Amino acid sequence: MAEEPEPGHRHPPRGTDTDHGPTATPARDRRMLDGGLIFVTALLCLSGIGVWITRGPERFFELLWSDLGFALLLLPKIFGGILLATALGLSLPRARVLALIGPDSGWRGLMIAAVAGAVMPGGPHVIYPLTVALMAAGADLGAGVTIVSAWVLLSLNRTLVWELSFIPVEVVAMRFLLTLPVPVLLGFVMRMLAARAAVRRDVQ
């Protein structure tokens, strides 16, 4: 038989961690073998078979050693990114992150996330671990989507150093202005979808 709750005792609301407070981003069960890995592995095998059949084994092994060398060059960056995400996720002040870009930060939080994504330097091995660290510290999915989208569309480093070096100023300015609101809108849509998913879970 289930135990009756003591008088005056209330169960904590759903989505609340009794030790760490409200959980803005629920922890996911990370598995070694998931759908994404299976898909990429299957695609890799099919591509290798295609090269072997159409170009021969000599070309196949040439590409294989080249790709393995490239993968070895990427490993230190990936490892460093994982360490960075873990360290920042544990050291960032959760209350501050929640206030700035948490689920209740509203449009202001999405705009802060967009600015952060636009000014962040570095490549994917920097931006993705930083975003994961911020989400572990309290940022919601909407803010995470906004940060990554702003980095992709509005990166000041790429715009100032690369685009303006090869593309006319008026074209760069038009592209930047047209894409300016997109990261915030994407973050807003993600928040709406996440809220609906949470409501469905509560109903079930």
Domain ranges of the chain: 39-76, 92-198
* Distance separating alpha carbons of residues 41 and 30, to the nearest angstrom: 18
- pTM of the full structure: 0.66
pLDDT in tens, 50-94: 999 999 999 989 988 998 888 888 788 778 777 776 777 677 788
Residue pLDDT, tens place only, 113-157: 999 999 988 788 788 888 988 998 889 999 999 999 999 999 998
- 43: its two tokens: 């695609």
